[in-house]
Structure 1
Amino acid sequence: MNRKWSNLFEFFKSTLAINFAVSFFVFLFGGLIAFNYSVLTFGFALSLFFKEVNAKNEYVFYFNNTISKIQLWVYSWFFTFVFLAICSFVFNLIRKLF
Structure 2
Amino acid sequence: MTNTPWEASSGLYKKLAFGSMIISGTGIILAIIGANMKNLPLMYTAIGIIGVGLLTHIAGMVVRARDAKAWRVSQGIVPASRPRRERKKKS
What TM-score do you get using the length of structure 1 for normalisation?
A: 0.37
Higher helix share: 1
Greater RCO, CA 8 A, separation 6+ = 1
What TM-score do you get using the length of structure 2 for normalisation?
A: 0.39
